[in-house]
Structure 1
Amino acid sequence: MLEVVLAHTCYFSGQSYVPEIMRTICLLYEMPLLVFLAGRSAQHRSGLSSVFAGLLNIWLKWVLISTLVVFGYRIICGRSAVTPTQYLQGLMFYSLEVNDLAVFFQSMWYMRMYVVVVLVAGILQELDKRVQFSGRSKWSFVLFLVLGLAYASFSEVDSFFGLSRMQLCYLSFFMIGYLTKPTAHLTLKAYLLGMAFFATLWIGISRMMGLNFLNIQGVKFPPHFIYWTEAMLSIWTCFFLWQYGSKWIHRCGFIRFLGRHSLCFFFSQGLGAGFIYRFVSLNEQYGWVKVFLLSLGVNYLIMFFGGLAIFGIFRIFDRVANKIQLSERLGRVLQFEEGLPGGES
C-alpha cells in the first residue's frame, strides 16, 4: 500500500514536474505486486462460499465509505463532488471522471479487476479440490494466460477466450502468487538471470514496436504484454527478498497492521492524492525533489490517519454485522459447494 501511494503521488499530481525515470521506477512496484501478494494470501482461503461472502463484505464496506466521503465532502466544501448518477456508478466501483475526489474513485478500477480475478481463482480452487490438478497442469494454465495476453496484445484485440487483457494479466499474477510457496528460496544467480530475462523482454519488445520503454503508463490500460514483462521484475524481486524479509515483516507491527487492514488504507489513499495538487505550483520555487517529498509525506499522513478512521468505522460495522449474524446468513445463502458435483458429504 505504501508503494501505491508513492506511485499515485508520482503519476497524478507529479506528472507535470516529476522526471519520467522517477515515474517509471515508482510504477515498477505497484498493482501487480499487490495482486501477487493477494494470491499468496489466497493459499489460506477455505472455500468458494467464503470468497463470495468476502467480496460482498468488501462491497458493503465500500458502499458505506464512499457514501460517508461523498456526504462529508458536501458538508465540508458546501458543494457536491458527484451527481446522483455518478454516485450510483461509484457504488459499483466505476472509475468516475470527476474534478473532486478523482483519485478516490479512479483507483477503484483495481476492485473491478480484483473481483473477477478472485472469483475465477476461487472456482479453480474448488475444481482443484475435486479433480486434484497436477502442478504441471496449474502452471500450464498460467502459461495459457500469459500467451493469451501476448496474443491479444500483439493482435490488438481486447480479449482471448472470453478473458479480457486486464483479466489475463492480473489473473496470471494472482496465480503465480497462489502457486509459489513462501518457503521456496531463490538463489542470487537465478534472481539476476530472471531480472535480465524480463528486462530484456521489456526493453526489447518496446523498441521493436517503436515504443518508449519508460512510458509504463502507456501500456498499462489495458495491460499490454510489455506491461506484464516489466511487472514481473517487481514480482521476481519480491520472490527473492521474501526469504530474507519475511521474518523482519512478522516482527514489525506497523507493517503487519497495514497488511491485515490493507482495505482501510486502500480506500483512504485516494483522499490525499487529490489534496496535494495544491503543491504543484511550488515546483518552480523549491524544485521537484522538495515538492515531491512534501507531497509524498502529506499523502502518507492522510492515508494513514484516514485509514485509521476507516478502520474504526469498519470495527463498528463488523460489530453490527456480528450482532445480526450477517456472516452466518451470507454463508448459508452462498453455500454453492453443495450444488457442485462432489459437494455432498
Structure 2
Amino acid sequence: MFIDSARFSVSSGKGGQGCSSFRREKFVVKGGPDGGDGGKGGDVYFLVDNNTDTLSNYKGRKVFRADNGKQGMASRMTGKSAEPLVLIVPPGTQVLDDDTGEVLHDLIHEGEKIQFIEGGKGGLGNVHFKNSRNQRPTYFQPGLPGETRNIRLELKLIADVGLVGYPNVGKSTLISTTSNANPEIANYEFTTLTPKLGVVEVGDYNSFVMADIPGIIDGAADGRGLGLEFLKHIERTKTLLFMVDVANYRTMIDQYRVLKEEVAKFSGELAGRNFAIALSKVDGYYGEDLDADIRQFIADIGLEVSGENELGFDKNYPYYVQDLTYNKFDNEKPFFVLPVSSVTRKNVKSITFALYKLLEQGK
C-alpha cells in the first residue's frame, strides 16, 4: 500500500537513575559509597533507505518511543545505555513539526542518517557526592527525561521527469511503454490512484526516472479531485512533461492552459521548471485534420512548426523543438511539442531521447 503521509509522536528514552550503594566487604574497613551512574536513554535517528518507497511502516502508529537507559549498579557499574531508535524512510521524505508546520529535515540522499532527538542523560550515582563533610552520601540523581516531538512525515517522490495531464490522457500507457513501470491501465478516468515511478533506459548507459501522478482537473490546486494530494510528488522533479490528449473533447489549448494554471497556483517555483509537451493518442484522433489542429495548437502557444532536427521525430506529424544552435535554452518555452502514440509507438523512442536532452539543459 502506498502511504505518503504519516502523523505521530516520537520520544527519546529517559536516562537511567544513578545508584546509591556502599561497599561492604570483610576486611574493607572504609568501603564508602560505590553507586554507579545510570545509562543514557535511547536517541532517535532518521535513516534514508533506497529500498523503501512508502511510509506504510508508520500507518496506524501513534507513538514511537526509544528505550530508557538502565539504572546504575553497585561497585561503580554504569547502567547499560539504551539502543537508539532508527526510523527508516524513503528518499524524498520531509520531517515537519506537526504543531507549527515547520520543516525540520528534508531527507533526500541514500544512506543519510540524522540524529533527531537525543536521549536523556543518565543520573549520577552516590559515589560522585562524597566529600570531606559528607562521607556517607545517600543521594543519587534521577536520569534526565527524554524529549517528545509531534511530527508529520511527508513523502515527495524524487524523479527527473514528472507527467502532468488530465485523467485518462495516456500518462500510464506512456510510462509503461518507455520504462519498467507497470501501472494499471484502463479506459476510464482516475485509473491511477497513487504515483508511480519508472526507470527509462536511454541507450546502453544512460537512464532517468519518470513519475506518473494521478490526473489533474480544473481546480486541483484548490483541492478538487486527487490533484492537490499528489501534486506534491512533482515538486522535486527536474522537468515536467505536459500530456495533452488530441482525442479529448477538450481542445488542446484549453487542456494545456488549465494544466499550466493549476501547476502555477500550486507552486510558482514548479511552474518555472523546464518543460515539454506531448500530444498523446494521435492514433485515436477522430477530428477532420490532425495536421492542421497540431499546427494550430503550436501557433496558439506562440511558436512555429520546426523543420529538421537531430532528435529523430517522425516527420509525418508537425512538431516544434527549440533551436539550441547557440546553446541558449529558454525555459519559458517548451523544449518540444511532439505528437506521440504509445499504442502504435509513434515517437515513443524519440521522446525518451528528447527528454534526456532536456534534462541535460537543467544541469
Q: Which interval holds the TM-score relative to the shorter structure?
A: under 0.3
Greater RCO, 1 or 2 (C-alpha within 8 Å, sep 6+): 1
- Name the one with the larger strand percent: 2
Between Structure 1 and Structure 2, the one with more helix by share is 1
CA radius of gyration, larger in: 2
